[in-house]
């Protein structure tokens, strides 16, 4: 028998010490050795154009020299202190300048933590218990977020379906589930439950599904009518759709938003940002012990992530950065569409130029259930052929980056052409 490859060797070692042989994030058979610019290399030395970009944070590409320089300057001064640091304050100031809803910021280490605290803030501020989310919306790994994230059992709304073991039944009773992009249903649901709902949490772009015209505006109006805290989960869309995120792109301002990925420049960092009267619940001196929301995090706002985020955001403020990013995405979307059309494969390109994917379905995609109805075998084969031909992406998203080159587009086009032919 031939010797094992390095990736096979690492996979065997991983299975011995990691549940399911991985970190829980991605295909556990893949081990990435390094990344530079728009490319990554696996442990067997295979090279790919990277459209996963760490699940979103590496918008500038891997190892951007200016970010590396900022981090290298910080490292000898200290990596974390569990105390305030100036870079963290500067980062909070820049978020408040950029993001419409942000009057104050509290840092955390992950987007899932930020979403959990945002829902808790809504409860603290309103004195209500119920949270409403949309079926298929991803908001981290808290008990509330793991309701109807990816249900295979499609039940009647607003019943919640837990996606994980270990969640108390009581949590289900405090969650309401609605279909994304259905304003009429949401209005009827709030007519019954509105005075008991603390917050509505929504991805402005739900995974890859865009909001229908008027949907986010309608959600905002309903939250105002019933005194509900509107939370935009902008962990993915923040500083990607535009410098001010999806709330800038769509022209709708929430009460709170959550941020992550890009604001840490590739290091663990996230934030809750929002209106001061709500954020005051982090300040015991203002709201008192009964309404105070305790929050601690060993690495929250650490200076290494803060300087990486500050430099990343400085680069994104430069003239033409977002025009270039959108242009890259539009070119990729056109490429996918052209070759799938030529192969006669029914599909929809769904999302935003800065974040999208192909859904193998012959109808408009407006909700989670539309995505669930897609041809998953074609999706799996299509992505497998892309990877065989040097294109690395997640099973459900394409993340363009600013680091893409003409050579990357040429390689990608050939891979897409071959993948389309393979599923025709």
Residue 11 lies in a domain: no
CA 62, distance to chain mean position in Å, is 18
Report the distance separating Cα 153 and Cα 372, nearest Å: 11
**Range 190-211 average pLDDT:** 98
pLDDT number for residue 159: 95
User: What integer pLDDT is reported at residue 1 of this predicted model?
Assistant: 47
CA atoms within 13 A of residue 237's CA, in its CB half-sphere = 30
Residues 276 and 406 in one domain: no
Do 137 and 91 lie in one domain? The reply is: yes
pLDDT score, position 209: 98
Average pLDDT, the chain: 97
Residue 145 inside a domain? The answer is yes
Percent of the chain with pLDDT over 70: 100
Of 298, 316, 334, the last residue of a domain is 316
Clarify whether residues 291 and 193 are in a common domain.
yes
Interior angle at CA 111, CA 107 and CA 117, nearest 5: 65
Decide which of 291, 316, 341 is a domain's last residue: 316
Using 50, 70 and 90 to split pLDDT, how confident is the model at 2?
low
Residues 127 and 248 in one domain: yes
Element (H, E) at 357: strand 355-359
- Averaged pLDDT, 49-56: 98
Residues in CB range of 70: below 8 A, 6 or more apart:
307, 308, 310, 311
**Residue 140, in any domain of the structure:** yes
pLDDT digits (tens, 9 = 90+) for 306-339: 999 999 999 999 999 999 999 999 999 999 999 9
Same domain, 365 and 335: yes
Which residues contact residue 420 at a Cβ distance below 8 angstroms, ignoring those fewer than 6 apart?
339, 340, 342, 343, 345, 382
pLDDT of residue 265: 97
Strands (E), 360-397: 391-392
Residue 281 pLDDT more than 70? yes
Minimum mean pLDDT range among 149-153, 298-302, 342-346:
149-153
CA distance 115 to 301: 16
pLDDT, position 4: 87
Sheet holding 47-50, edge to edge: 32-36, 39-42, 47-50, 391-392
Domain match, 195 and 276 both: yes
Q: What is the pLDDT of residues 353-402, one digit of tens each?
A: 999 999 999 999 999 999 999 999 999 999 999 999 999 999 999 999 99
Range of the domain at 251: 66-316
Instruction: Classify residue 19: in a domain, yes or no.
Output: no
Whether 288 is covered by a domain: the verdict is yes
Q: How confident is the model at residue 3 (pLDDT cuts 50, 70, 90)?
A: confident
Same domain, yes or no: 414 and 269? no
Return the pLDDT at 246. 98
Question: How many other C-beta atoms lie within 10 A of the C-beta of residue 397?
Answer: 18
The answer to whether residues 67 and 312 touch, using CB atoms and an 8 Å cutoff, is: yes
Q: Which of 238, 232, 416 is nearest to 322 (CA)?
A: 238
Enumerate the active-site residues.
138, 233, 261
- What's the pLDDT score for residue 331? 98
Q: In residues, how long is the chain?
A: 424
What CATH number does the domain containing 128 carry? 3.40.640.10
State the CB neighbour count (10 A cutoff) for residue 79: 13
The tens digit of pLDDT for each residue in 130-159 reads: 999 999 999 999 999 999 999 988 999 999
* Statement to judge: residues 327 and 403 lie in one domain: yes
CA distance 222 to 220: 6
- Give yes or no: residues 216 and 128 share one domain: yes
pLDDT digits (tens, 9 = 90+) for 22-38: 999 999 999 999 999 99
Binned at pLDDT 50, 70 and 90, residue 416 comes out as very high
Residue 357 belongs to domain with CATH number: 3.90.1150.10
Please report the pLDDT score of residue 152 as a whole number: 87
Q: What's the rounded Cα separation, in Å, for the pair 76 and 56?
A: 28
| Secondary structure element (H or E) that encloses residue 32, with its range | strand 32-36
Residue 290 shares a structural domain with residue 414: no
| pLDDT single digits (tens) 244-254 | 999 999 999 99
| Global pTM exceeds 0.85 | yes
Residues 257 and 384 in one domain: no
* Domain's final residue, options 285, 300, 316: 316
Say how many domains are in the chain: 2
Q: Residue 26, Cα to own-chain centre: how many angstroms?
A: 15
Is position 5 within any domain? no
35's CB contacts (< 8 A; 6+ apart) are 41, 50, 58, 62, 63
Same domain, 348 and 243: no
Distance, in Å, from the CA atom of 110 to the CA atom of 298, rounded to the nearest integer, reads 12
């Amino acid at each position: 028998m031939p010797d094992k490859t390095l990736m096979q060797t690492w996979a065997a070692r991983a299975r011995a010490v990691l549940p399911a042989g991985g970190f829980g994030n991605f295909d556990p058979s893949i081990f990435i050795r390094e990344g530079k610019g728009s490319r990554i290399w696996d442990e067997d030395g295979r090279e790919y154009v990277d459209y996963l970009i760490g699940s979103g944070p590496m918008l500038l590409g891997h190892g951007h020299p200016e970010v590396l320089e900022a981090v290298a300057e910080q490292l000898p001064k200290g990596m974390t202190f569990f105390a305030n640091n100036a870079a963290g304050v500067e980062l909070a100031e820049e978020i408040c300048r950029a993001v419409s809803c942000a009057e104050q910021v509290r840092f955390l280490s992950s987007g899932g933590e930020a979403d959990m605290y945002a829902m808790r803030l809504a409860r603290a501020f309103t004195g209500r218990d119920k949270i409403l989310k949309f079926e298929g919306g991803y908001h981290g790994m808290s008990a509330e977020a793991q309701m109807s994230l990816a249900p295979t059992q499609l039940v009647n709304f607003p019943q919640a379906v837990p996606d994980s073991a270990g969640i108390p039944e009581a949590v289900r009773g405090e969650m309401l589930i609605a279909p994304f992009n259905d304003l009429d249903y949401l209005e009827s649901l709030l007519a019954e439950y509105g005075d008991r709902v603390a917050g509505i949490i929504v991805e402005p772009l739900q995974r890859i599904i865009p909001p229908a015209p008027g949907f986010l505006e309608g959600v905002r109006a309903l939250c105002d009518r019933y005194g509900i805290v509107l939370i935009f989960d902008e962990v993915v869309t923040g500083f990607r759709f535009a410098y001010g995120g999806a709330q800038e792109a769509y022209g709708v301002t929430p009460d709170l938003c959550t941020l992550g990925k890009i604001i840490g420049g590739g290091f663990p960092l996230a934030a809750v940002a929002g209106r001061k009267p709500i954020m005051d619940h982090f300040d015991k001196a203002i709201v008192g012990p009964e309404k105070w929301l305790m929050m601690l995090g060993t690495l929250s706002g650490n200076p290494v992530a803060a300087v990486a985020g500050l430099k990343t955001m400085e680069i994104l403020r430069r003239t033409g950065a977002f025009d270039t990013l959108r242009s890259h995405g539009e070119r990729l979307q056109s490429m996918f569409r052209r070759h799938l059309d030529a192969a006669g494969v029914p599909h929809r390109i769904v999302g935003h130029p800065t974040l999208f994917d192909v859904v193998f379905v012959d109808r408009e995609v407006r909700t989670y259930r539309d995505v669930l109805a897609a041809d998953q075998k074609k999706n799996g084969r299509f992505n497998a052929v892309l990877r065989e031909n040097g294109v690395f992406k997640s099973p459900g998203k394409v993340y363009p980056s600013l680091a893409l080159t003409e050579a990357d587009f040429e390689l990608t086009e050939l891979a897409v052409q071959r993948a389309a032919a393979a599923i025709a």
